[in-house]
Every structure is written in structure tokens, then in C-alpha cells.
Chain A
């Protein structure tokens, strides 16, 4: 479904991804782990189409198409969704207005009719309830004054509304309390399906207890240094990233902090 081959990416003239290969088949969930600064968020941004990330070599194919040739909004319409590590605050745009604009833009691009106001409201309420999001919160400007956990839940709400086929979650569990991790994981699991693939970037085994991955990849210095089954994450929790030649051991050991 998603095929990344020999991907090289420069940011500000510095090479961050240095020949990354990754294949994500439909229906599977892959976890991406790796030390700080290894390029995980860079990969996520490149998939979503952020400017200023210069692809110098390699390819990304999504459902047989060249993903890198598409504008960010076209990627979203084609089913690519990135849950941001740091969601943006936008004063002056009510969350509800934003959600509705996004849902209808994607529906329009997919050739589906726009949702009527009552239908949209019903849909939002239903999804918000699953994620234990207070509908009052959605009247506020987008993410402005939201707590860290509220922002992350809002990301998953957007994911649930846009029904993407590729979900990229960049540290969605960071900053969440223990109950919130479970709620978010349940929200993600509800979206697991044979025609949907997921990339879950995380530092913590805890999230992977709930969202059990089909594969785990360790990113180090801009490449996939090792891949394995779900047990690889447990192993990393024990040994850290020492074998990948990094000075730091990542945050895998500090799993108790939230």
C-alpha cells in the first residue's frame, strides 16, 4: 500500500533521511521507534507534504501513485493523515468550523456530497463521545488553550472524521495521562481495518500494549536500522538504543513519566 524506497531528505541543507526503505501493506500497523533526532518526525512530515523538506533521492508510492508529486491537500484527499506531534494553535478559527471545512473539502475532493449541518453535527458528537471530548471544547478556537492531552485527542477526532487510509501518528501518546492513552488507543484500534494502514511513531511500549503492531522498525540516523515483530519493542525497552550507536538511550526507559 505504502512503499518508501531509498528516501533521502534534506532539511536546511542538512541530510536527515539517508536512504530509508519501508513497506507498509494494507491492513497492517507498523510502529516506528528510535532515538531523538533520528528522523521520525521528518519522515512523517515528508509523507504529509510539508514544504522545505527537500527530497534529493528515492520515491514514495501510495496506492501505486507518486505521493511526492501531490500537494498536501491532495494527499489528505487521497487518504493520508498525519496526527501531529505538536498540533498547531489557530486563533480566530473555531474548532467546529475547521472540522467542517476539512471534512467537506475532503468529501468534495473524493467526489462525495458535502454533509449537511445536522448530519455533520451528529457525526462530530458521535466521534467526540468515543474520545471523551467535551463538545463545548469544539466551540473554542482550534487548539487554543487546549491542554496537551486535549490537543492529541483532537487530532484523533480529526482522523476519525476524515477516515483516512494511511494514518501516521507522531508521538500521539506523549503528554497523555494513563487513561487518555487507553482512550486514544481505543480510538485508533476502532479505525483498524483491512483497507487501512498505520504508522505509529512512539517512544513508549505502553502505547504498543494497546495498539499491538504487526512490525516494529527502529530508525537511527535517517535509516531503518532494524525491523522485527512486536517483541522488538519489548527488547528495546530492556536494552535501549545503545547498539545503534547513539549516545542517548532514548526515552524508552522513562515510561512512567507522562
Chain B
């Protein structure tokens, strides 16, 4: 017999409800009816659903309810001093030094001293700190917050809406093309184990074209529990290139949800690079709302020890003539586990849909594991959809070829591993970012070589 979720709650499930009750009056926007309305509705959704567990298909391989035993208190911005050296340390120098319009958030707090807000304004991008904007949201933010490809069946997203305390909201003016990426740096703090709940909102108005890089790094906090949501609205004929670099502490829980909606003739090219944290859940909900658009959601993850990285994608082709591509590559060492779940839904009438997904993992140990579950739900007849998945060890014949040319075994393995993930990096247009990924994976591999 199965009890309804609300009759039995785990300690952690209850802790989130208590956290909300305790923080309710102090959360940003507590006195704004729009914001508090959003939050109330979200906490009801969460209370109804509880934490996701393995009997829920989308969470089959990541049983959050079982894994999450203790919920850490909500982090409040306390003004941790952060300098350039800390950034380089937290993100890797190649990422910290990325030529960009940089916006730095420490514990969710947008830090003007480390950010180029005026540069972005001058280039045609409005930037507001979410914590401030929630107190009295501008009308453009009200029009999108919680409305980009919305869902009411995701408890992690609902928790984020109920508890979001920081982040940044950006609006790119019509027709603006930026000359360099916007780099949203998100750092946790230095103190006791804590939860941080942040949300970024990016609105690319029609005809605009931008690159958004989100990087997550660690200043040294223990046991971080992050719930990060990014809402992205890609206007008609607009283009967003979106990159995420995850490099948090070894014991961090990283829950990331992207909500993406594309207008007509729009482009969205995303890449997720994951290297840190203990447990990562990267979920992307993307939806084509206008015809003639294309998206590419790709990524790479390098995991070792007992790390767990779950990538779960849902791409909805709601209208005709759209193209979607997905390519994920993972390198798994030790007892690490990689999960890829890719679902493509083609709605009735969404003719001329072209959707392809591919996932592959390189297993460096006998105990590493990769689970891949593609799903196609197709309700239109004139479509081309496909998927594939591979998982295997380093090809010994290739290894021998390199060794026979004088390259020592460990170095030869590293070269083959880099070649494997490098294929995914090719999907990233920005050369600086591609190089940053290559440098970060080389650093990851150098640990193996020692």
C-alpha cells in the first residue's frame, strides 16, 4: 500500500516546508503580492509532490528523497570578501579570466564591485539583482518570471520558486549583438553547510544575439546544497548561446533547472560542462513555441570518486519545422555514475521536426557506470528523429598506436580521453570557452597522471 505523499514526509521533505515557513516574511518580495503569490503556489506544489524519488520515471537514477537526509539552512548574503585571486581559485584561471561582461554573485548576492553592470547597460543589456527586483518587480520581469516554459510537476523547480533569494535578471534590447559573453559567476560562501537558492532570468528580445556563460565555483564552503534555476526566453530571430561550467566542492549537491522557450526563427545553443560536486542533477526543459527555430543542447562531464551526474532533458517540439540536436559525452572514473535521459516530444501537427540526440560515456574503471535512457514521443508523421548511446572503455588498439610512437601510457590515455570529450567541445562556438573547457579537463586529467 502506498500512502499519499503528504501523509508521510521524510525529515528533509519536512525541513523544506519548515524552512519556507521560517523565512517566508523575510524572503525578498514578501510584501509584493505578485511575488508572494508565486511563492505560495510553488510551496503548495512542493507540498503536494514531495521530494522526487526513484519511482518517478524522470528521477529513476537519482533518488533525491533517499540521498537528501539533511537540509542545510538557507544561506543569507553576509558580504564575504572576494577578490580576483579568489575568483581564479574558485573557477580555474582560464574561466575566471574569460574575456566577458562579468557579473559576480556571491551567495546569490550580485556584487557590483566585481561586476561590469555599467558596461552591459552601455551595450544594451538591462541588469537587475533578483533580490532587489523581487521587492518591487519591474513589469518586464513580472511578464516572464515563472512563465518561461512553466511546469507544475517539478518539485525541485517549485522549491526554487518558493525560496529563491538571489540571482540576476537580464533583458537584452531588440537587435543588440554583444561582442563578448555575459559571464554569470555564482560562488558559494566560506562558512558552515548551507542551502542556496538562486534564479537567473535572461530575456533576449527579438533579433538580439548573446552568449551567456554561467559558472559555479566554490570558495570553500562545506556541504553546499544548491538549487539554481535559469529561465531563458529566446525572442523571434534572436540567438542565445548558453554555457554552464560547474566546478563546486567535492561534497556539494547541485540541482540545476533550465527553462527555455524559443520564438520563431530563433536559435539556442547550450553547453553544460560538469566537473565538480558530489551529486549533480542538470535538467533542461526546452520548448519550441515558434516555427523555424533550432536548438543544440550538448555537454560534457568528467566524474570520479563517487560523483554522480544526471543529465535529464525534455525537448518539446510544439510547432512545425524546428530542429533539435543533443550530444553529451561523459568520462567516468572510480565509482562515478553518469546518467543521461533525453526525451523528445513531437506534438501533433509539428511536421518537419528534425530531432537527434546522442550520448556516450568513456568508462575508466570497472566500477564506473553509465545509464542512458532516450525517449521519443512522436505524434506527427512527417518527422526525422533519432537517438544513440555508447558506453565503453578506452580502445586498446588506439592506445597501443600512441604508445608505439613513444607517448607513455598515462599520457596516451589522457590524450584519448581529451579527444573523446573534445568532440563535444566542438559544439561550442566561442573559442575562449572551448579553450577553457579543454584546460579544465586537462587539469582534471593531470590528477590521474600524478
A residues neighboring B (CB under 8 Å)? 48-51, 71-73, 75-77, 81-82, 84, 87-88, 90-93, 98, 101-102, 105-106, 109, 158, 162
Q: Is the CB of B398 within 8 A of A162?
A: no
Per the bound structure, the CA–CA distance linking A162 and B420 in Å amounts to 26
Per the bound structure, the CA–CA distance linking A91 and B419 in Å amounts to 7
Q: Which residues of A contact B397 (CB under 8 A)?
A: 88
Residues of chain B at interface, number, CB under 8 A:
22
Q: Which residues of A contact B407 (CB under 8 A)?
A: 73, 101-102, 105
**Shortest Cβ distance from A40 into chain B, in angstroms?**
17
Q: Is the CB of B418 within 8 A of A76?
A: no
Q: Which residues of B contact A82 (CB under 8 A)?
A: 404
Jot down 6 A-B pairs with beta carbons below 8 A, ordered by A.
A76-B405, A82-B404, A90-B401, A91-B419, A98-B415, A106-B406
B411 CB–A CB distance under 8 Å = yes
Given known pairs A51-B396, A71-B409, A73-B412, the reply for A90 and B404 (CB within 8 Å) is no
A-B contact number at CB 8 A = 74
Per the bound structure, the CA–CA distance linking A49 and B422 in Å amounts to 28
Q: Which residues of B contact A93 (CB under 8 A)?
A: 415-416, 419
Known: A92-B420, A92-B423, A98-B402. 20 other contacts (CB 8 A): A49-B403, A49-B404, A71-B403, A72-B403, A72-B404, A76-B406, A81-B404, A82-B404, A88-B398, A88-B401, A90-B398, A90-B419, A93-B415, A93-B419, A101-B415, A102-B406, A105-B406, A106-B405, A158-B405, A162-B406
B59 CB–A CB distance under 8 Å = no
Q: Which residues of B contact A73 (CB under 8 A)?
A: 403-404, 406-409, 412
**Shortest Cβ distance from A148 into chain B, in angstroms?**
16
Per the bound structure, the CA–CA distance linking A81 and B420 in Å amounts to 26
Q: Which residues of A contact B412 (CB under 8 A)?
A: 73
**Shortest Cβ distance from B424 into chain A, in angstroms?**
10
**Shortest Cβ distance from A44 into chain B, in angstroms?**
10
Per the bound structure, the CA–CA distance linking A41 and B325 in Å amounts to 43
Per the bound structure, the CA–CA distance linking A105 and B412 in Å amounts to 10
**Set A50, A91, A162: member contacting B405, Cβ < 8 A:** A162
Q: Which residues of B contact A91 (CB under 8 A)?
A: 419, 423
Secondary structure at the B interface, as helix, strand, loop or mixed, is: helix
**Shortest Cβ distance from B23 into chain A, in angstroms?**
48
Per the 8 Å Cβ criterion, residues 138-153 of B in contact with A are: none
Q: Is the CB of B396 within 8 A of A92?
A: no
B400 CB–A CB distance under 8 Å = yes
**Shortest Cβ distance from B331 into chain A, in angstroms?**
12
**B400: nearest residue on chain A (CB-CB)?**
A50
Per the bound structure, the CA–CA distance linking A91 and B418 in Å amounts to 11
Q: Please indicate which of the listed interface residues B400, B401, B406 has the most CB atoms of chain A within 10 Å of its own CB.
A: B406
Q: Which residues of A contact B401 (CB under 8 A)?
A: 84, 87-88, 90
Q: Which residues of B contact A48 (CB under 8 A)?
A: 400, 404
Per the bound structure, the CA–CA distance linking A75 and B404 in Å amounts to 8
**Shortest Cβ distance from A238 into chain B, in angstroms?**
36
**Shortest Cβ distance from A209 into chain B, in angstroms?**
28
Per the bound structure, the CA–CA distance linking A102 and B422 in Å amounts to 19
**Shortest Cβ distance from A124 into chain B, in angstroms?**
14
**Set A51, A75, A101: member contacting B411, Cβ < 8 A:** A101
Per the bound structure, the CA–CA distance linking A88 and B419 in Å amounts to 14
**A110: nearest residue on chain B (CB-CB)?**
B406
